[in-house]
Structure 1
Amino acid sequence: MNTQTVDLLGVGIGPFNLSIAALASTKPDLSTLFLERKKAFAWHPGLLLNDAKMQTSYLKDLVTGIDPTNPYSFLNYLVEQQKLYPFIASGQSVISRIEFSHYLSWAAHSLNNTRFNQDVQSVEFNGDVFTIETSEHSYQSKHLVVGTGMQPQVPTFCEPHISNTCFHASELGLRKPNLTGKRVAIIGGGQTGADVFQHLFDKTFGEVADINWISRRSNIEALDESCFTDQYFMPDYVDGFYHLAQTTKNSEVSRQKLTSDGITNDCLQGIYQRLYHDRYVLNNPSWWSIQPNRTLISLAHNENGYKLHLEHGLTHDNTQINADVVILCTGYRRALPSCLSKLASQIPLNSQGLPELCPDFSVKWPAANNNRIYMVNAGIHSHGIAEPQLSLATWRAAKIINHASGKNLYEIDQQEAIVDWGLSSPEVLIQPKAKAAV
């Protein structure tokens, strides 16, 4: 059996590795190959709800931010699919998640450096090259880039109850449950929680008897998408952020939460108008409830359904609600993929249990001078709030391509920014100044 050897091999084909694959596909100076265990491309298939929208512009696609002439741009996808003019006429500034998923799938299956149905079982390092084993093939590569995505996060006390009636929202579109006549509790106040609430309200999964939307946030909060907030998603800010003290980084990431984890204003306006019409125009009996500032603290199940115990964030009062179905919109967690287990002892982890990343998104490990392991969507606590978002995916991809090739294959020099963050001198940013004694 012949062993294919490349300069850079990617494990996983999600949007971030796909961006690297697309940009690298036109650069013969760097040989690349990307492997995916699934038989076909899939991007959060359980959340491709009919009316769910993207939070970012369609210009923040796989390639346009770095190379708008690349054949795998969203605009070229529209041309190839013969729908450019209808799209222009639609006046959309943001597109549906379904269409963006179609675009990603089109690119993934058009590229010649992607391979599906390739389950990476192990990765070994022999001193100068990585050996990657799948169930059917063996590959060798000088460098790795890991983009295996995140795993659904479920509260520990909910894990024993995971079933057809208690599940993570990432499975909703795949399960397509019949919720007619059911009491449903939605846990989580971000964009996913809003999308689920809207689709349940609109009877996408049947005529629900009762909806309780629970969020520990202080309100149902909007995405902060102003033009100045968007400056957090610029290369100069990410480069400067990297050199801050870790305690400062953690504080800033927490403070900036709503720049990426709020709900789009269009979605909020649509939900509010539905609620107003239902309550004040149709005068329907109460059948839905929105409860912010409540934390789910326990979950029990009996023959009558689920009992959810909540604690109020301000009063600390305990209340209880009942449900037949519980949908957990509780986010995702990052974890080191099992295929790297043979390298795990050589990769130091940070307090979040993830590898420490260099400015170029490579892992700090003993062989990093010659053989690099890059990771995407694993550096929010090192590179900031933009790292797990699509906004700078192309810039990060180009940076990895340049670093792995040792050449300036893409021009990524920064233009003069609108905002002066004062973060351009790393030497003075390693630790925050101590406060004077009082």
Structure 2
Amino acid sequence: MEKDIYDCVGIGCGPSNLSIAAQLYGTHEVRNIFFERKSEFSWHSGMMLPDAGLQVSIFKDLVTLTEPTNRFSFISYLHQHGRLLTFLNAQFSQISRLEFAAYLKWAAHSNENINFDEDVRGIIFDGNHFAVQTSRRKVLCKHIIIGVGIEPYTPDFARPYADSETHFHVYEFAHKPRQVGGRRVVVVGGGQSGAEVVLELLRRTGMEAPCQVSWISRRDNFSPMDDSPFTNDLFTPAHSNFFYRQDTTFRKAFLKRNELASDGISEHTLRSIYQRLYTMRYIEHSPMQVSLMPSRNASDVWREGSAWTLASQHLVSNTEEKHKADILVWATGFRPAAHPFMGALGRRLEREGSEIRVDRDYAAIWAGPADRHIFVLNAARSQRGLADPNLSLMAWRAQIVINRILNRPHDPKLDADAFVYWGTLEVN
């Protein structure tokens, strides 16, 4: 019966789907349910280092940009836990990533429409409804929202050795044994996550300190994220919509040119590393050997006894180098997670390169009825721009999806104001 059919089923409960669930909470217009295979909410738990900070404003939470009075805002979280005033008085330059993760967990476990420890095994379409089979039940729905997030990326040559105690992706760093005292550690990757691991290693002293830390990056230098106001206009609805209208050639070149707008290192982290190096060299006279090596492209890795050898190519001199490591950490980024639960349904989706092609409202272009949608979140960077995998437009994107489900006309207020006019002027 129609009352037993959900309007939407969400697969995964990372921040993207959590934003939709938060904005749907309490509404009777959209019957919704979300499934998460993990037993409780977690967000990049293996990267939760003590001093790691969030790189976006606290207002770019689950709901504030579209519903400032929603009960699941970060401000509401602070108020409910009795620490709003002390948070303000602390005058943090950036919010702790640990605290933001705690906020997300609070929002997830306060929403009874989110079901944990329930894995989606498969989806079929019967011509009228989607049938979603989980590890516990089967439900029918009109729309699917895929928000399964990202998965760690390591180069093909390194993948056979990954996930050991001494060779792993930065995604697992906080979960690995902390015994690095007297050992050689190599970190590959010149972005924020690599920088945070290097800083954490440099702060270790005494018996806990490694004897050597090497930091390798393909970039010309260890470069800061561009966090200036006009660069932040790239993370607005206006630019996302402009980017979507451009051709593939423009999009690809634009993303490459503006890489540091989203994948640089925060100035706070860079300054902390530099100051720590100063203290180690001139004040503490630390015996730790630290090698900062940009302009290197890692090309191969192999085991030699109990250690690792990493081969890299110097991109200026074109010479090969070898780096010895007892522990090798790959801070080489992420890619959208796979969708094995889609099965044969996945073949009905159009593709744009490695991505599922989406329309302006993040609905997949597919061979199915026009009133049945498969929304794909956090997996369209080459179509939607720099902000797609970022938290910045999460609440805005959620509202776009909800409006499409309700068949509401596009609300121009959602696009917000921007000082930069990205398009061409109309000629009268």
How far is the alpha carbon of 1:405 from its aligned partner? 1.0
What amino acid does structure 2 have at the position aligned with 1:271? I
1:39–1:423: structure 2 CA closer, same or farther, 3 Å change rule?
farther
1:144-159 aligned at under 5 Å gives the runs 144-159=144-159
1:287 is matched with which residue? 289
Contact 2:165 2:177 in 1 (8 A): no
What amino acid does structure 1 have at the position aligned with 2:20? I
1:405-420 aligned at under 5 Å gives the runs 405-407=406-408, 412-420=413-421
1:286–1:112: structure 2 CA closer, same or farther, 3 Å change rule?
closer
How far is the alpha carbon of 1:31 from its aligned partner? 1.6
Deviations 1:212-262 (A, max 9, x none): 011111100100100010000111111111010111001111111111100
What amino acid does structure 2 have at the position aligned with 1:269? R
Deviations 1:356-384 (A, max 9, x none): 01010000002251110001111101111
1:432 is matched with which residue? none
More displaced stretch, 197-206 vs 133-142:
197-206
1:47–1:211: structure 2 CA closer, same or farther, 3 Å change rule?
same
How far is the alpha carbon of 1:412 from its aligned partner? 3.7
2:113 is matched with which residue? 113
What amino acid does structure 1 have at the position aligned with 2:285? N
2:329 is matched with which residue? 327
Deviations 1:9-56 (A, max 9, x none): 110000010001101114321221111001100101100111111110
1:30 is matched with which residue? 30
1:335–1:45: structure 2 CA closer, same or farther, 3 Å change rule?
closer
* Alpha-carbon distance between aligned partners in 2 of 1:151 and 1:238, rounded to the nearest angstrom: 23
2:349 is matched with which residue? 347
More displaced stretch, 70-79 vs 201-210:
201-210
Q: With structure 2 as the length reference, what TM-score do the two structures score?
A: 0.95
Contact 1:128 1:370 in 2 (8 A): no
1:412–1:27: structure 2 CA closer, same or farther, 3 Å change rule?
farther
- CA RMSD after TM alignment: 1.8
2:375 is matched with which residue? 374
- 2:57 corresponds to 1:57: yes
How far is the alpha carbon of 1:348 from its aligned partner? 2.0
The alignment covers a number of residue pairs equal to 423
* Alpha-carbon distance between aligned partners in 2 of 1:21 and 1:118, rounded to the nearest angstrom: 16
Deviations 1:123-166 (A, max 9, x none): 11001110101111111110011000111111111122221110
1:42–1:3: structure 2 CA closer, same or farther, 3 Å change rule?
farther
1:193 is matched with which residue? 194
1:72-221 aligned at under 5 Å gives the runs 72-162=72-162, 163-203=164-204, 206-221=208-223
* Alpha-carbon distance between aligned partners in 2 of 1:287 and 1:87, rounded to the nearest angstrom: 39
SS across alignment from 2:215: strand
SS across alignment from 2:142: strand
1:434 is matched with which residue? none
Contact 2:211 2:288 in 1 (8 A): no
More displaced stretch, 70-79 vs 281-290:
281-290
Contact 1:347 1:365 in 2 (8 A): yes
Unaligned runs of 5+ in 1: 426-438
How far is the alpha carbon of 1:282 from its aligned partner? 3.2
* Alpha-carbon distance between aligned partners in 1 of 2:424 and 2:236, rounded to the nearest angstrom: 13
1:203–1:143: structure 2 CA closer, same or farther, 3 Å change rule?
same
1:436 is matched with which residue? none
What amino acid does structure 1 have at the position aligned with 2:131? T
1:246-395 aligned at under 5 Å gives the runs 246-285=248-287, 287-352=289-354, 354-395=355-396
Contact 1:3 1:140 in 2 (8 A): no
SS across alignment from 1:391: coil
Q: With structure 1 as the length reference, what TM-score do the two structures score?
A: 0.93
